Chain A
Amino acid sequence: EDQVTQSPEALRLQEGESSSLNCSYTVSGLRGLFWYRQDPGKGPEFLFTLYSAGEEKEKERLKATLTKKESFLHITAPKPEDSATYLCAVFGGSSNTGKLIFGQGTTLQVKP
């Protein structure tokens, strides 16, 4: 069964304190891994897509990496405005459907 597990569930950082969020997945034939940011009361906002192991994407203080079993979202010198819930989702399997499998998310709080 396709599955996505994110850790930790919650993370508190001081402003400037770098860290990483983990997304472990099991899927038969990964065809895409997606990172989203979700603010309270809002819909998920697309950040990155990764398609193959070894791929990396960067945007401002965020960097996403992918291996055959997991993805990391590295946050360098975070600011309070980076506080949000970060969601990981995978698309894969043998069926040609639109079904993304989402993880539960990591809620990040960055204190000034």
Chain B
Amino acid sequence: NAGVTQTPKFQVLKTGQSMTLQCAQDMNHNSMYWYRQDPGMGLRLIYYSASEGTTDKGEVPNGYNVSRLNKREFSLRLESAAPSQTSVYFCASSEWGTLGGNQPQHFGDGTRLSIL
């Protein structure tokens, strides 16, 4: 079982370059999420998609855009990368519970992004 697959696993960009991080899940989940993980800051939600066709901002959305391509795929785009966006990016998916996002989220293994 693949679960949540993220590509690429590693990437180095120069300031100002653009890039799209890809995420796909094979668990037939309705909801998908993008997080960043930084030392001392923990995991922080960038954007999420409760269901196909909807996206919403999380805690730290500035500098990012997302696309829910279909039920399986949710991409994160950096239009003009900045050194402050150096981080590890995780994609997750879950069912959308009757009380909203109270179902466990299942994570991919991350994309390690460095911006010089």
Contact = CB atoms under 8 A, between A and B. Distances in A.
Interface residues on A, range: 20 to 34
B68 to A, nearest CB: 13
A105 B109 contact: no
B24 to A, nearest CB: 14
A99 B48 contact: yes
Nearest to A35: B104
Interface string B69-108: 0000000000000000000001010101101111111111
Contacts of B106: 46
A32 to B, nearest CB: 4
28 contacts: A31-B99, A31-B102, A32-B99, A32-B102, A34-B104, A41-B109, A42-B109, A43-B4, A43-B90, A43-B110, A44-B107, A46-B106, A46-B107, A49-B103, A51-B102, A89-B43, A91-B100, A96-B100, A97-B56, A97-B101, A98-B50, A98-B56, A98-B100, A98-B101, A99-B59, A100-B101, A102-B43, A104-B40
Interface of A: 31-32, 34, 36, 41-46, 49, 51, 87, 89, 91, 96-100, 102-105
Judged by DSSP, the binding face of A is loop
Contacts of A42: 109-110
A22 B59 CA distance: 25
Nearest to A49: B104
Interface of B: 4, 31, 33, 40, 42-45, 48, 50, 56, 58-59, 90, 92, 94, 96-97, 99-110
A6 to B, nearest CB: 9
B59 to A, nearest CB: 7
Contacts of B99: 31-32, 96
